[in-house]
Chains A and B, each alone.
Chain A
Amino acid sequence: AQTVTQSQPEMSVQEAETVTLSCTYDTSESDYYLFWYKQPPSRQMILVIRQEAYKQQNATENRFSVNFQKAAKSFSLKISDSQLGDAAMYFCAYRSAGRGGADGLTFGKGTHLIIQP
Chain B
Amino acid sequence: SQTIHQWPATLVQPVGSPLSLECTVEGTSNPNLYWYRQAAGRGLQLLFYSVGIGQISSEVPQNLSASRPQDRQFILSSKKLLLSDSGFYLCAWRPTVQGRWSPLHFGNGTRLTVT
Contact = CB atoms under 8 A, between A and B. Distances in A.
B106 A91 contact: no
Contacts of A104: 34, 36, 46, 49, 59, 104
Interface residues of B, number: 24
B43 A97 contact: no
Given A43-B109, A52-B101, A95-B100, A102 B44 contact: no
Contacts of B51: 103
A106 B92 CA distance: 13
Contacts, number: 53
Given A43-B88, A91-B44, A109-B43, A33 B101 contact: yes
A96 interface: yes
B23 interface: no
B32 interface: yes
A62 interface: no
Contacts of A105: 44, 46, 104
Contacts of A4: 43
Interface string B31-67: 0101010000111111001010000010100000000
Interface in A80-117: 91, 95-97, 102-110
A105 to B, nearest CB: 6
B19 to A, nearest CB: 19
Nearest to B88: A43
B103 interface: yes
A63 B44 CA distance: 25
Interface of B: 32, 34, 36, 41-46, 49, 51, 57, 59, 88, 90, 92, 100-101, 103-106, 108-109
